Structure formats: structure tokens, C-alpha cells
Structure 1
Amino acid sequence: MVGAAIRRAGEKVKGKLAEPIWALGAMSGTSLDGVDAAMVLTDGVTISEFGGCGYRGYTDAEQAVLRMALGKWPGDDLDAAASVILDAHIAALRGFDAEVVGFHGQTLAHEPQGRGTHQLGDGAALAEALERTVVWDFRSTDVDMGGEGAPLAPFFHWACAKWVDADVPVAFLNLGGVGNLTWVDPASDAPEAPGALLAFDTGPANAPINDLMMERRGLSYDKGGALAAQGQVVDGALELFLEEGYFRKMPPKSLDRNDFSLMLDLVRELGDADAAATMTAMAAAAVMQGMEHCPVLPDRLLVTGGGRHNPVMMAMLDSALDCKVQPVETVGLNGDMLEAQAFAYLAVRVMRGLPTSAPGTTGVRTPVGGGQISRN
């Protein structure tokens, strides 16, 4: 019944019976830097236009509250963190004229084969405050049906590949707190079609480097890779990192932000610069390992997320991979807002009964649409 309803809704959209609407997406990633907000005009299948965007950074005090909440689950004392998330999102999202809001919330813990996945955030309260329909809790249904619940941006990456008129396979690499890779066959008719997408988390990216910078320097991140550029990669630590069993696991697969906390232990005895250089190399090496899972080598690797601003990491990837490595801006996309845009796009899919994940993206048994809908 559910599958038939999804197919009927998809046929209506593909038949252009559903008109594009303006959707507003919000993303607060595991790097804990702030809330991105971005508008997309879409029918839930194709991208018609990109709209305005905004950003509301977390203060140092707010970041401290969110850091204390990492790893916690429903039932823990999370009132302070919930207040930070709600207030920051209200501030970031007010002023946009959208028919629907896609609200990801803040991931605190992720154990898809254990306790599930936990994105803190009250979509109903946000809908009331914004006086807008809000789609939220995107991941739980996928996990409940046996999927990893992550990554969820791949369906949007498929739409982006269509938007840039890609005619050969391409890959999108998001270097956020965790790295995730999406391989796209743009010849496919729908993102849920068999073989259209392969997606998975590659490994840690910015999160452990940010933790190192906070611990050693009291800074939130290594701006421009400046500290890493001063150091040398310690091969022994890098080799120990690559022995982690996660890299031998076949995708789809996903990670929690803190699954690779051992990285800090591996560089504990190193000086600040060498530690930063080695952890940056670890993030790049994780991507290199992940690229081996691609069905065919993509024509180009389009990089989004904060990591694309790190020239040390980008140079490592460019020198090691046999395809072009480029920031997504080279094809006219906004790498700072792609995740927020993804949840705008996914919100419309949820509203229209279309799937938001599939076996090739999360390992879920069958294409499934997630998300709760709260109307103001």
C-alpha cells in the first residue's frame, strides 16, 4: 500500500502535475559551527531554481552547550541544548518566504544498528514559531526499516547532477564533521532506481581536527589548513588509522561523529602542527579508501562542506586520485549551502510522498520516505 502510494505520487510529479514550490532547508552539522539556511524551488524531483541563503553562527557559549550534549539520547538532560537549537534555527529561518521548511535538527548520536539515531530538535515548536509547515525527523524511518539513516543528501546530489547537465558519472564529497561520498549515474531516471546512486560515510573529516584545535589551541578549526601546512604527516599514525575495520566494510555504511575518537590518541605525542597535518591526511586517506567502492571512476569529484576550504586536504586528494578534484563552485553550486539545500529538497519529497532513501544510499531494504510533518 505504502509503496503503491509512493509510486503514484512519483508519477504525478514526473508528469508535471505537481508544480515546483519554494522550500527552505536548514542544516546544523556535526562541526557545530552554526545553522545554514537555503531556499530551493523544486517539485521534489528536479531543481528549478536556487534562492536566497543565510547563516547564523553559534556563539562560543552555545557551542560549549552543544558539545556537552554530543553522544546523548532522548531521556538525557538536554533542555539547554534543545533551547540553543530552537533559538538558533528561529533566528536563521525567519525572514524567508517558503511554503515548507526542512529541519534536520542537530545529530547528537548515531547507532543505526544499535540504539538508532538521534537528531535533537522540536519540529512542531519550530513550525509554531515560524508559522510555516515544517518537515523534520528525516532519519528515523530509514533506521527503523533496517537502513543506516545516513547519508541523506544523495537524492539531492542526483538532482544536482541533472541540474549541471552531467552526462557521465560524477561523485559528490561532503567534507563536514564526517566525510560522505555520493556516486551518481546521471543517466538514471530517478534517484531510487537501482544503480542510480551509491553513498556512504567515508570516515572522519573535520570533526576530529576541530576537536584537536579546541584541545590544543582553543580554536574551533584549522582555518585555511594553516597549522597542518606547517607540519609533517607521521606515517606510523596514518597506517594505524587505516587498520580500522570500518574501511574494509562494504557500503552503504555510516558513522557517528565520535566513532573515530582514537584519532586524537594516535597523535597524542605529536606536536601541534604534525598532529594537524597527520589528522588531515587521515581524513583524505579515508576518502581515498572510499573511492575504491565506486562502480566506475567518476569523471570528477565535486567537493562540498568546510573541508574544501582546507587547501592542504584538497591538495592531498588531488595528488592521490585519478579524477578531477574540484570544489562544487566550479559547476555553479554553493558548497556552503548544499546540505541545507538538500533538506529543502527532501522536505518537498516528503510532502509529496516520494522516497528519500534507497538501498544504494543507506542500505534500507526498499526505497522509503521519512520525515514527520508539523503544520503551523
Structure 2
Amino acid sequence: MDYIIKRSEAQMISREKSWLMVYGRRKTGKTFLLRNFCKFDAYFLVKKDLSVFSGESRITIDEMKKMAKELLVAGKSVAIDEFQRLDESFLEEFTVIHPKGKLVVSGSSMRIVKKLFEPNSALLGFFTPVKIGFISPGNALRELKGKLRPAEAIELAVFIREPWLIPLYNGENIVDFVHKVITNSKFIISSLLGEIFSEEERELSRKYQAILRLVGSGIWNTKELASILYSRGIIPDSSVTHILQYLKNLEEMELVESIKIYNSKSNFYRLSSPIMNIYYYLDSRYDISSREISKEEAKPTLEKLINLEIQNFIADLFAEKEGGRKEYYISPEKEFDFIITKRNRLEIVGEVKWKKAESKDVEKFCEAAQHLPGKKVVIFRQGKAESSINAEDIMSG
């Protein structure tokens, strides 16, 4: 079953007149977005063997360079996808043409992206960066509205924010779908670092993989992360300073998400990708990278993990709609699923009850959160109570 999700980023890219560098981690739909939702006078895709596709034709890099320059001088628009596969001097030849026409380059290499915007870069100032992350919660839900029952639409939207998962969905329930993906696509999930790193950075990649696995297994605290990495000989000592830049880089590439803990200087780290989060957690418990796991064996843990991802998705949706920031509330006495702040002012305290829920759950939550300012909201899968909304309300909102 296929869904074509219209993304708000397409309008921004099409509307912008300046030269752009579109970037983001692999499998976020950059190529699909550029080819299907943005209009260019010429679109070039650079393959790994350094051949170039232009429409249905295969051309050389020199031919692409000549065509692109001529079009830009004529005031036309040109897109070069997977530009990081080209020699670094390639784009420097285009600077003499700037700002004629509109040049959009797209890639997923962290090294190239960072180098492009270094203070001494020859390309600094020629391109405006445009980050392509996951599909927004609102865009995903708009596509599914009326096509699935409200609760099922929300459950599926959690995962199809990652475009590569869309063609894999065949109408099954969410537990069956997630089990199918982690079973059949484990090599895709574990290789999402992919072209972020070049060949000479494999040792660096090993450190990033170790961090991803730990965060995916549920280790969210930087002190605990650093301690485990040190015990495994991956960093020279247990100081958190050794991992902060790695976490920052992973966050920039939308592999890791940093969530502020309310009224604290600490952050909660989790994997940005729901399917990646579930895969690495299950791998830490069941070693699924080395063996097959049946749905029956995985189901209790899968249901728990899927509910956590639904909770996080709903928090993102509230943040998007309110124009606020998602934060967590964690204290020794109590935790709340999410809060939304605006300009450091608490606006919403939220609790997600996606399984069976009753009025007493709302009463218990409101009593526990009464010391906090802001609106109190409980989200049910179905059913209704005072101070609560359900899946149908979300889809109609």
C-alpha cells in the first residue's frame, strides 16, 4: 500500500530563489522530494560509480558540468543529487556563475556538509542550508486522514514519517508491520550511518555505532553513556566531554534526539527513528541482529515499545501545533509523558494512555500534575473523559 505524502519543505525549496544545499541523513526522502515535488529545468543524480543520470539518459560528469553551467547562466534551475560523491573542487567551479540561476545540491555526507560551511571554505556564503528530516507529524496525518480509522492512522503515522518505510506497509496491524520491518530490513536499519562517513573515517563510525546502540537500548544519560563506552575501551576515560560532540553530530544528522528535561540542565537522549529505536532495543534484549525472532516472542516488548513511540509522536504533534518545544518531566517522585513549553513557559502537561484507559486515570494524572502550571491533557486511543482527547479528536483537529 503506497502513500504519497506532500511535504511542506517542498514549497519552501520551490519558493526560494537562492542557491541551496539540501542535506540530512539517509532514507529521509530527499531524492523523492526533489524529483517529485520540486520543479527544476534539469535534475542530475550522481551514482556511486560516478556516472550521472539525467532523465532517462546516462551522462558523464563533464557533460553534466557543461549542461549545468549553461542552464545557470541562462537563469534556469538545476538540481544535483548526491553531490558528495563528486570531487570537492567540482562546486568551486560554479562560484563564478553565482548568483545566476538557481543551483540546488543535495547530499547525506556529514563530512562534506560540515566542510561546506567551515569559516575557510571556498563555498561559504554561496549556499543556504536546508535540512530535510523526518516528515512532520502534521503532514503524515493529513495524508492518512479518511484512509484509516483514527487510532490506526496515528499508529501508522509514527513510522511513515520515515519515507523508506511507506512502500513496506501492506495494511497489516501495527505490531505485525513493525515486526516485519525489523525482521526483513535489519540490514537497512543497522546501516543508516551509511554515507555519512567516508572510508577513512571507519574508526569514527565505530564510535558512533556504539553510541547509537547504547542510546537505542535505553541508556539516555550522558554520564552512564560515557561510563559504559570507557569500560569497553571506546573512549580514553569516562568524562562526558568525550561524547558530547559525537552526540551533537548525531543530533544534527537526525539520528539522535536531545530532549530537555524540564527545570534541569540535563537532556534525555533517544534515537530519532522509531524503527531504529525499537530495533536496537530488541537487539540489546534478544540479539535479533544474529537470530530470527518470532512475533509471539517479541510481541509483549514490541507493544510496549510501539506505545512509547506513539507517546513521543503525540508529543511532537502537540509541539508542532502549538509552536512550542517538547520536553520531559522527570523527578524522583514522578514522571509525565511530555510537556510543551513556549519561551521557557510551561503550556501543556500531557499523558498518553493508548491502552485501556478510564476516568480514574485522568483524575490521578490531574492530581499528580496540579503543582505544575499549564493545561493538563490526557490522550486516549478511544473513549472520553473530562480533560481528555482521543484519536478521533486528534485526526479532526
- Please state which band the TM-score falls in when normalised by the shorter chain: under 0.3
TM-score using structure 2 length? 0.26
Tell me: higher relative CO, structure 1 or 2? Use CA pairs within 8 A at least 6 residues apart.
1
- Higher share of residues assigned helix: 2
Which protein has the larger Cα radius of gyration, Structure 1 or Structure 2? Answer: 2
